[in-house]
Amino acid sequence: MAKATQVKHILGASAYAARAAEIAADDDRSVGAEHLKRMMHRATPIVVDVLKRFPTAPDGGGRVGELIRVLDADLRTLTESQRSDGAASQGEVPGTR
């Protein structure tokens, strides 16, 4: 049975990497947002399809949890054409502006 907490296993590595980048940049949240934007471009249609089989990411988890929820929400909003073009190749990534 798919559980919301399993989303952390799918997206956690990207969120932890984004948080580490923020910390290295004196807690600059724009650095984390930029990292998530790059991850959006790298997400394959298979990753998005698998992610959509699970409930949305759960509350909690501090800043890493927040980054997971942003990435989760953004990946779920990708259209089929954006996914087939390697996420958002047009340059606009939902939620990471």
Mean pLDDT by 10 residues, the chain (97 residues): 89 97 98 95 91 95 97 87 50 46
**pLDDT reported for residue 1:** 80
> Contact 88/40 with Cβ under 8 angstroms?
yes
User: Can you give the residue ranges of every domain in the chain?
Assistant: 4-83
Q: Which residues contact 49 (CB under 8 A, 6 or more apart)?
A: none
Which residue type does 61 have? G
Q: ∠ at Cα 40 (8, 81), nearest 5°? A: 120
Write the DSSP symbol of residue 52. T
Which two structure tokens, joined as six digits, stand for 6? Answer: 């399993």
**pLDDT reported for residue 87:** 47
**pLDDT reported for residue 88:** 44
pTM of the model: 0.80
**pLDDT reported for residue 78:** 81
